[in-house]
Amino acid sequence: MSIKERLDRIKATLPEGVKLVAVSKFHPVERLQEAYDAGQRIFGESRPQEMAAKHAELPTDIEWSMIGHLQTNKVKMIASFVSMIASVDSERLIEEIEKQAAKHNRIIDILLEVHVAQEDTKSGWAKEELDTYLATGKLQAMEHVRVRGVMTIASNTDDEAIVRSDFERIRAIFEELKPTFGNEFDTLSIGMSDDYPIALEYGSTMVRIGTAIFGQREY
Ligand SMILES: *Cc1c(COP(=O)(O)O)cnc(C)c1O
């Protein structure tokens, strides 16, 4: 199946208003161009260097979304063009994004990555840590960072009940945080190739799909 056919099939299953991030990490620009030519405009990458290189080669109306763990010292590589940083997991990172976005006179959309999976290995805030940080009011006062919602990666398991409980928990956190940020806080980013149909049941507004569009990655 071509990339266009895969994209069309996936898009046909997405309710109106749900955004599709085509996760293109580790795939060459030719494959991204193919997706672009099929109408795809939002691409997700996990490494800043790779994102910057692809950004330089591909059309300028692509919205680039950083989905991988981002080191503070690498924010500057993408700050001039990135649309969204979906993997924001620390105060230091937020402060650096604020600083770099200000330098470029931009506002960068972010998602707070919250850890809900039943595994120690996953990145993201522990909910209690996030609450402590939000209570300081610092994030709400930033002028170049716009908090759009939350993101998580569900447990990597075949046990659907565990995946469902992860999604239920992140959805509850999303609802709980909404009043803090207001109308702009509209994004619940859950769902990857293997679990996005379930994520849609839990109100996902942004799925992040790689393998089901581009095939297996070669690391
Ligand atoms: C790689 C990645 C994806 C895409 O995973 P697939 O299983 O290939 O769909 C989605 N979200 C994040 C955070 C990722 O790192």
- The CATH number of residue 19's host domain is 3.20.20.10
* Amino acid, single-letter form, for residue 46: S
User: What range does the domain containing 126 cover?
Assistant: 3-214
Q: Model confidence over 124-133: pLDDT tens digits?
A: 999 999 999 9
Instruction: Confirm or reject: Cβ of 46 under 6 Å from ligand 1.
Output: yes
Please count the residues of the chain.
219
Instruction: Confirm or reject: Cβ of 62 under 6 Å from ligand 1.
Output: no
Instruction: Confirm or reject: Cβ of 88 under 6 Å from ligand 1.
Output: no
User: Looking at the domain assignment, is residue 166 inside a domain?
Assistant: yes
Q: Model confidence over 132-190: pLDDT tens digits?
A: 999 999 999 999 999 999 999 999 999 999 999 999 999 999 999 999 999 999 999 99
The number of distinct structural domains making up the chain is 1
- Probe target for ligand 1 pocket from 67, 188, 204, with the most ligand atoms within 8 Å of CB: 67
User: Looking at the domain assignment, is residue 151 inside a domain?
Assistant: yes
Token couple for 28: 């060459």
Query: Per-residue confidence at 122, pLDDT binned at 50, 70, 90?
Result: low
Beta strand ranges found along the chain (DSSP E): 19-23, 42-45, 63-66, 84-88, 108-113, 145-151, 187-189, 206-209
User: Looking at the domain assignment, is residue 219 inside a domain?
Assistant: no
pLDDT at 14: 98
Distance 192 CA to ligand 1 centre (A): 6
Query: Per-residue confidence at 218, pLDDT binned at 50, 70, 90?
Result: confident
Instruction: Confirm or reject: Cβ of 151 under 6 Å from ligand 1.
Output: no
Distance 85 CA to ligand 1 centre (A): 14
Q: Averaged over 96-104, what is the pLDDT?
A: 98
